[in-house]
């Protein structure tokens, strides 16, 4: 439990850092930090249930997407303001690095494994975003009709 809270705090602060790099308006920094923190929490908890990090990344990016769309609706701001910083901790920087490392060590089997995993993590992020955005758009369309 303590570890979970620690993970939330870490991801909260690092998301806030990224939101300053991306010049998010002052009033929204903490909100986007919370979105990113919850997204990482979903990743952290679900990675204890599933052996592959691909499915956990999918759930996390779905969470970030849905929360971002909800915040966008509620605060009347573009959804990307919340989604972009929240997505960053999920982007497979580690996979990218280990693929390169394996390539340099001429361990092509590991490179293929890691490279495929990296591509699939990126695809999982995209799939999570696709589903949340599509849901939000279809709900909006149904409401305006």
Beta-carbon contacts of 68 under 8 Å, excluding residues fewer than 6 positions away, are 35, 79, 80, 81, 82, 83, 86, 132
Site string for other proteins, 105-124 (x = CB under 8 A): x----------------x--
> Is residue 81 part of the contact set for other proteins (CB under 8 A)?
yes
Torsion of CA 34, 38, 43, 49, to 10 degrees: 160
Candidates 77, 117, 120, 124: give the one binding other proteins (CB under 8 A).
Answer: 77
- Residues that bind other proteins (rule: CB under 8 A) add up to a total of 49
Other Cβ atoms closer than 10 A to 121: 23
Q: Which of residues 22-61 bind other proteins (CB under 8 A)?
A: 22-25, 28, 40
**Ramachandran angles phi, psi of 76, nearest 5°:** 55, 50
Alpha helix ranges (H) inside the chain: 2-21, 29-46, 53-75, 80-87, 93-104, 108-144
In the bound complex, what is the minimum distance in angstroms from residue 118's beta carbon to other proteins?
8
The rounded distance, in Å, linking the Cα atoms of 97 and 110 is 12
> Is residue 15 part of the contact set for other proteins (CB under 8 A)?
yes
Candidates 16, 34, 38, 66: give the one binding other proteins (CB under 8 A).
Answer: 16
In the bound complex, what is the minimum distance in angstroms from residue 97's beta carbon to other proteins?
5
Q: Which residues bind other proteins (CB under 8 A)?
A: 6-7, 10-11, 13-25, 28, 40, 77-78, 80-81, 83-85, 87-89, 91, 93-94, 96-101, 103-105, 122, 125-126, 129-130, 133-134, 137
């Amino acid at each position: 439990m303590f570890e979970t809270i620690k993970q939330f705090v870490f991801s909260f602060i690092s998301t806030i850092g990224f939101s300053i790099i991306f010049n998010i308006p002052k009033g929204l920094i903490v909100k986007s930090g919370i979105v990113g923190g919850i997204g990482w929490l979903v990743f952290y908890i679900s990675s204890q249930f599933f052996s592959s990090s691909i499915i956990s990344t999918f759930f996390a990016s779905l969470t970030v997407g849905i929360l971002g769309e909800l915040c966008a609706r509620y605060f009347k701001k573009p959804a990307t303001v919340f989604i972009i910083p929240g997505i960053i901790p999920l982007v497979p920087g580690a996979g990218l690095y280990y693929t390169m490392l394996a390539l340099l060590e001429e361990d092509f089997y590991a490179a293929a494994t890691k490279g495929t995993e990296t591509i699939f993590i990126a695809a999982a992020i995209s799939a999570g975003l696709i589903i949340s955005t599509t849901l939000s758009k279809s709900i909006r369309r149904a409401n305006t009709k």
